[in-house]
Amino acid sequence: MTSEKLQHIATYKVAIILFRKLLKSGTITESEFHRCESNIAEKCGLSLCSIYREIA
């Protein structure tokens, strides 16, 4: 795995942590969380069936 791919995975994981905090605090809804997760996964180049994704 290239360092670029590892950077994309790390970026995705950090974003998910932030989105989960927003979800837990009630700032965003569950559907907004799913939308955010899908968008960041796409931007980071993670496919729908990637083992790194939180939601499949």
26-41: pLDDT as tens digits? 999 999 999 999 999 9
**Is pLDDT of 7 > 70?**
yes
User: Is 34 within the bounds of a domain?
Assistant: yes
**Is pLDDT of 47 > 60?**
yes
pTM above 0.75, yes or no: yes
User: Is 36 within the bounds of a domain?
Assistant: yes
Contact of 52 with 28, CB cutoff 8 Å = no
Which structural domain range is residue 31 located in?
Answer: 3-43
pLDDT > 70 fraction of the chain, expressed in percent and rounded? 98
User: Is 51 within the bounds of a domain?
Assistant: no
Total domains present in the chain: 1
Q: Tell the burial category of 54 from Cβ atoms under 10 Å away from its Cβ (0-12, 13-18, 19+).
A: middle
User: Is 37 within the bounds of a domain?
Assistant: yes
